[in-house]
Each structure stands twice: as structure tokens, then as C-alpha cells.
A and B are shown apart, each in its own frame.
Chain A
């Protein structure tokens, strides 16, 4: 704890600690904020009830490891995917245990059976799932109603246009945008000779940004698709978070939390806001739905909670047992509830408030 005391920031309030059997590969809150799902590399999904702050259920969802999770945007309806080439839909409620609604096989190809990316269309009508270089569109009833082949090999990231039906896929060679409502329309290619690992569309849908293998962030302005690049990161800047007003792109990938200005002038030729607090590279970021409260986690396991975007000192701190893997604020309005996972497989629920005691362990 000496490190925490040395910076004179109060410890965050730990609400619950749940030991998973191993590191989580994905974690997400249900839209209602009641359920938190965490999937492990071993194939188990843990379901945490935010009402009781305890584990509600844990089950082996995929035979050879889970890879991705995404909650339906309207209902407590979870999609999961794994190394077994399958997408599964699960439903939950107070009285019932987990219920498998659909089990969809996407791959017969032994060279590409990892389904690494899942994302629901903002209106909830379709799920996009990437398996190798194939992107499948799956309806709520589990039927497949569309597929695309990504030209640059394995898909590195998927992202829907906010409130839209355009799906962006990133990978080696750039971004391809598909209009899923018009399957015959020509996809829009945003070419970049590099490997793109993450993708995020600004809330106003005017910028699409990608974190790249060569420690850079590349972005395109829409609709003119003018592109530019940000460099200087120590690690791969896969964490890309937009402020709600699309004014800031918040990136990790270095010890400094970098806020790139995307107001009218844009970041071109301007110095970003650099917040120097963490001692080690930031590898997890979550911005609360209020658009203000921020959580950052770094490779050394340090977790910081910031009251406002742009604050130069965090409001609360915590030290996890190992590298911070995921951070996720509860989606409820004005939430103070934050979930974290660590490389060693510890899931913690935190309250953005000062701890009245220092948690043991």
C-alpha cells in the first residue's frame, strides 16, 4: 500500500471480490445494469448479480475457451462465442438459472474456428460475429442472415456505427464498412497498410479510430474519409474511448492518459492533453455512461478512478493482484459501480467512493 499512500490518493471502496478460475477474456454489463458477465479463457461464464454483489451462476459455456461476450442492447440476453466455432445465446432472470436459447455453429474450417468478436447492432436486430476472416450476421432467433469476407485476413475488430446499420470491420490492411441493410451495396474501404487491432466509432459517427499493431492510432473523418495518424505510444494503443460529446478520444498504450482533441479543429498539429499519473502503461479504460467518470488500469495492476475527464489526479486508487485486464462501469445512470478483472483472475466490484477500510488481500 506504500505506493498508494505515497501519492496521497484515497483507496477506492471495494464492494466484492470474486475469484474466477482464471483470467477473464471479456466482461460486460447487461443493459439494465443488473447483470455482469465475465468469460474466462477456460470456457466458463460467470454471472454476477449487482443486487447481491455475489456470483449468481457460473457455467461452462464453451468447450475450448470463451473469446467474446456481448449483451443485447435491450434485453437481458447474452451472446457468447468461443474457440469451438460456436455462438450461443443465453437468457437470465431472477428465478431461472441460465437458459441456452440458441447454439449456432459458424465454422467448419479447422484453420479458423475462433470467434473472437461479437457485437449487437445498436437496434438489437442482429449480432455480428467474426470468425477468422468471415463476418456472420445472426438474427435473434439464431439464424444466419448474412456473411461477409474480410479482405485482410482475420478480423481484428468489429464496431457498429452509432445508432446505425453500418458495420465496420478492421484488420490487416485497414477498415471495411458494410451497409447491412443493403447487402448488394459496395462496402467502403478505408485502406491503411498496417495491422488494425481495435476500432471505435465516435458517438457523433463523424470519426472512426483504430488502434494499430505498430503502436499508433489511425483515424478517418467521415464522410470524406480523410485520414491521419497519432504515434508515440509505448505499447499497442488498443484502448480507444470516446467522450460522449465526441470531443475527446481517450487512449491508453502508454503510462500517460492521452486525450486527443476532436473538436472542430481536430488533433492535427495540436498537442494532446497528457495526464501523467500512472507509473506503467495503461491497458484498460472505461468511461461511465454519464460521460464524466473514468477508470484506468495499468500493467502493474494499479487502478485509478477519475471524477472528470481531464482531471490531473484520480479521486480514488486501488491495487489489483496483477495486470488490469478489463474495466467496466455499470451502465446505470450516474453509476458509481465499477467492475475490474485482473490477469490472475480476480473480479472486483468497486464503488467510486472513499473506502472506510483497507480491504485485505
Chain B
């Protein structure tokens, strides 16, 4: 059925992250859509635009105090009016303030029947200032909520940070929100066709826009390949955010050397072994030993390079965090011939994170409903978003679902057909307990 309702795109992001720049691009570039703008942030709109409505954010809590009943009064009022001249525009873009909580915005589209009838939330786009967001991550509830709620993160101002820092930041954002696509950008130059057609709350498109979803997680953030002559080599590091760090040094026998992602798959198992502590001045044999480098202060380690060839170094953290350098016997700096940044599993201690699961087997609908109701009632305030595809006993169709805090929506999707049914879920929230969620979900299997 053709969607008759009007899509609403929400732009969030801390002050200075580039929301207005992106908004101006949306208004000025050719995309064939007539846009009405609701602005909570009264910035300068760069072009003439008739349909720009300024409004203060008004958060309405209902008498029962339930967080899921908290809605945005300004949206209800303005969208209610815009519904009466809907032939004048094709889309609404809401630019929120830098301090806005996207929760009540999203909930407005779930709970207000008049709004639901005329509009749908297409997506929450969160602008992130790559150069300055780090100082807010972890200590700003607003920034964390904006990232956690995003369907799409525009990682803006990437020209102001190094590739390694960018990779590290992307990895951290990914830890917080595994559901969102991340677009690196300068001057908010994310592709508009992606920004304006996210389908983030469209159950029929659940998870289709998330290629990174369930990408493997590694116990290391970085790997590099080095072409080295035999002899004495030194690995030098400064002290970093942790007093120690896992690392691996291994010779690669294959020629030519495989891609680092392939090497990562091979060395993954070494990291599962108990780590051997190694103090300043210690020797790292090229045997695939899992070392725990002791780094209370800056330290150097001797790298074992018995023969000429390709060697791989994998480190728990990115080189930038510990200023990692590799010197040859002439004390010349050795640059890697290849490097790769990996999605590290839970290396950050952010209170807000996301966890994703995929497992086979059909869920018992009664057990699952009962568990989910309890979970939402108990932890709904801490669950920002959830989304998933489920296999349900006795139903040959996928069941797709999504939720915002305590609000939950589901519907049958396409039949499984020849495909083996599976369950794939992602939860984004505060203080998530992965082991509990996984265990409880598997208890719901028939």
C-alpha cells in the first residue's frame, strides 16, 4: 500500500555539530521534495523559505508520570495545523535544539493518534562534531541519548581529526548504537537521498538499512602489517587511558600477505588464550602469544623479527591512544604497509550502549510476550530503542518489531520461505546486561 502520510525527518545534534548546515543543504539542493521546517533551534536559515515555523520545545508529561506518555506538545500543535495544508509540502524537517531528548519526539509519533494518522517519523538524524564530541560522550545525557536514538549518524567535521581518531570515534559510536548507519562528512555533506529516506521507524524496512549490524566484534581495535628486515625492532608506547593493553605480534607466512581482516580471523583465537604480562623492556616473540603489556608509564618492548617478512601487530586500543611507534635497528620509524581498525567488543565504558543478538530457533510467542512486557515495564525508561526480526513458533512469517522506551510495535513480515528462520535483535539503552538479555531471550525459545 502506498504511504499517504507525510514523512518527518528529525535533525538532532549538540550545538555546533552542523544541524543548520545540513538543514540548509536539504533546503537548497535539488531533491524534488518541498520541505516544511519546524525549528526549535533558532539559527540562521540561509535561504528564503516560506514554510519555516519556529517553536519552543514543549515537553508534556501526562498525569500518570509514565515516561512513554511524555510527548512534544509543540509538535502536536504545529503538525496538527500543517496537516490542514498538506498539499503544500512533501516532507517536514524538524531541527531540534542541541539539548533535545529525542525520546519524546519519537513517542509523539507512537502515541498521538492524530499525528499517527497524518505523519510518520522517517528517521532521526544525529549530527556529531567529530572534533569535539569526545568531551561530551559519557558525561552528557543529551548527547548520549541523541546518538542512541539515531537511525543515521552524520559524523561531521572529519577533516579536523586524524583517520585513527575518526576510526576510534566511529567505533565508540558503533558501541553506543549498533543500529545506526554512520556517514563521515565535512560541512554536513552526507548523501541527501540517504538522509531523506531513512525508513528508520518503518517496520517493513526493519534492519535493512543497517549493513554494519552484527559485524563481528574483535578483542582488538587495530591491526597493522609491517614489512621488516631481520634484527632488533622496538615497540614504543606512551601511557594511555588504561594501565595495560593486550597485544599480539605474529609473523605472517603467506605470500602475498592476506588482507588484515582475514588475518584477524586467524589470530582471533590467540586472544582467547590467557594473557602473559610483559613489562617494560620485555621481548615479544612473533609466535602469536597474547601479551598484556604493562603500561603504568611509557614503555618499550623488543619485537622479535627472526627473518625478513611480513609481521602483524594487533593492539587492544588504537595506536593514537598510546602513541604507538615501531622503530627498526637504526631507530627509524617503520610505517605499516596496511592497517585496519576493527569494531572492538565493549572496550568503552559508556553507560549507554547497544547489544545485538542473532540466533536460530523459534520463539514461543507467549513466553516472549511475557518476558518482553516485564522487561519494558521494569527497564523501559533505560531502553531507548529496540528493533528486530523474530522467528515465532507456528508462524511461517518473520515477525518484525521495534520499540521506543516502553512503547512497542510489531507486525508480520515476509514469509521465511526456504530460508532458515533466525532471530536478530538489537537493544540500545543504558546499563544493558548482555548476558541477562541473551539468556532470557534464549529461555523464550520453544
Whole-angstrom distance from the CB of A106 to the nearest CB of chain B? 15
- For B56, list chain A residues within 8 Å (CB): 111-112, 132, 153-154
Question: How far, in whole Å, are A343 and B61 apart by their CA atoms in the complex?
Answer: 30
Do A153 and B73 have beta carbons less than 8 Å apart?
A: yes
Do A154 and B81 have beta carbons less than 8 Å apart?
A: no
Q: Does residue B74 face the partner (Cβ distance < 8 Å to A)?
A: yes
Q: Does residue B53 face the partner (Cβ distance < 8 Å to A)?
A: yes
Do A236 and B114 have beta carbons less than 8 Å apart?
A: yes
Q: How would residues 211 to 237 of chain A score, 1 for a CB under 8 Å from any chain B CB and 0 otherwise? A: 001100000000000000000001110
Do B84 and A192 have beta carbons less than 8 Å apart?
A: no
Q: Does residue B208 face the partner (Cβ distance < 8 Å to A)?
A: no
Do A111 and B54 have beta carbons less than 8 Å apart?
A: yes
| Among candidates A41, A67, A110, A213, residue contacting B71 with C-beta atoms closer than 8 Å | A213
- For B377, list chain A residues within 8 Å (CB): none
Do A154 and B87 have beta carbons less than 8 Å apart?
A: no
Q: Does residue A83 face the partner (Cβ distance < 8 Å to B)?
A: yes
Name B178-224 residues within 8 Å CB distance of A. Answer: none
Q: Does residue A11 face the partner (Cβ distance < 8 Å to B)?
A: no
| Among candidates B54, B63, B77, B84, residue contacting A113 with C-beta atoms closer than 8 Å | B54
Question: How far, in whole Å, are A235 and B117 apart by their CA atoms in the complex?
Answer: 12
Question: How far, in whole Å, are A159 and B71 apart by their CA atoms in the complex?
Answer: 25
Whole-angstrom distance from the CB of B37 to the nearest CB of chain A? 13
Do A23 and B85 have beta carbons less than 8 Å apart?
A: yes
Question: How far, in whole Å, are A296 and B326 apart by their CA atoms in the complex?
Answer: 81
Given A153-B73, A235-B113; A214-B63 close (CB under 8 Å): yes
Do B42 and A154 have beta carbons less than 8 Å apart?
A: no
- For B100, list chain A residues within 8 Å (CB): none
Whole-angstrom distance from the CB of B142 to the nearest CB of chain A? 19
- For B60, list chain A residues within 8 Å (CB): 172, 194-195, 213
Do B53 and A235 have beta carbons less than 8 Å apart?
A: no
Q: Does residue B62 face the partner (Cβ distance < 8 Å to A)?
A: yes
Name A79-119 residues within 8 Å CB distance of B. Answer: 83, 110-114, 116
Given A153-B73, A214-B69; A194-B63 close (CB under 8 Å): yes
- For B78, list chain A residues within 8 Å (CB): 114
Q: How would residues 39 to 72 of chain A score, 1 for a CB under 8 Å from any chain B CB and 0 otherwise? A: 0111000000000000000000000110100000
Q: Does residue A22 face the partner (Cβ distance < 8 Å to B)?
A: yes
Q: Does residue A25 face the partner (Cβ distance < 8 Å to B)?
A: yes
CB nearest neighbor in B for A214: B62
* Interface size grouping (class) on chain A: 20 to 34
Name A235-282 residues within 8 Å CB distance of B. Answer: 235-236
Whole-angstrom distance from the CB of B51 to the nearest CB of chain A? 9
Whole-angstrom distance from the CB of B34 to the nearest CB of chain A? 14
Do A42 and B85 have beta carbons less than 8 Å apart?
A: yes
Q: Does residue B55 face the partner (Cβ distance < 8 Å to A)?
A: yes
Whole-angstrom distance from the CB of A75 to the nearest CB of chain B? 29
- For B69, list chain A residues within 8 Å (CB): 214
- For A325, list chain B residues within 8 Å (CB): 84
CB nearest neighbor in A for B65: A193
Whole-angstrom distance from the CB of A22 to the nearest CB of chain B? 5
- For B74, list chain A residues within 8 Å (CB): 154
Q: Does residue B29 face the partner (Cβ distance < 8 Å to A)?
A: no
| Among candidates A65, A110, A113, residue contacting B81 with C-beta atoms closer than 8 Å | A65
Whole-angstrom distance from the CB of A69 to the nearest CB of chain B? 14
Q: Does residue B265 face the partner (Cβ distance < 8 Å to A)?
A: no
CB nearest neighbor in A for B118: A343
Q: Does residue B76 face the partner (Cβ distance < 8 Å to A)?
A: yes
- For B71, list chain A residues within 8 Å (CB): 213
- For A113, list chain B residues within 8 Å (CB): 54
Do A83 and B53 have beta carbons less than 8 Å apart?
A: yes
Do B85 and A64 have beta carbons less than 8 Å apart?
A: no
Name B35-70 residues within 8 Å CB distance of A. Answer: 42, 50, 53-56, 58, 60-64, 69
Known: A65-B85, A154-B74, A213-B71. 20 other contacts (CB 8 A): A24-B84, A40-B84, A41-B85, A111-B54, A111-B55, A112-B54, A114-B78, A114-B81, A116-B77, A153-B56, A172-B73, A193-B61, A193-B62, A195-B73, A213-B73, A214-B63, A214-B69, A236-B113, A325-B84, A343-B84
Q: Which 6 A-B pairs have the closest CB atoms?
A: A23-B84, A41-B85, A41-B84, A195-B60, A110-B54, A193-B63
Could you name 16 residue pairs across A and B whose Cβ atoms are closer than 8 Å?
Answer: A41-B84, A42-B88, A64-B50, A67-B81, A111-B55, A112-B56, A113-B54, A114-B55, A116-B77, A154-B58, A154-B74, A194-B63, A195-B60, A213-B60, A213-B112, A234-B113
Q: Which residues of A contact B (CB under 8 A)?
A: 22-25, 40-42, 64-65, 67, 83, 110-114, 116, 132, 153-154, 172, 192-195, 213-214, 234-236, 325, 343
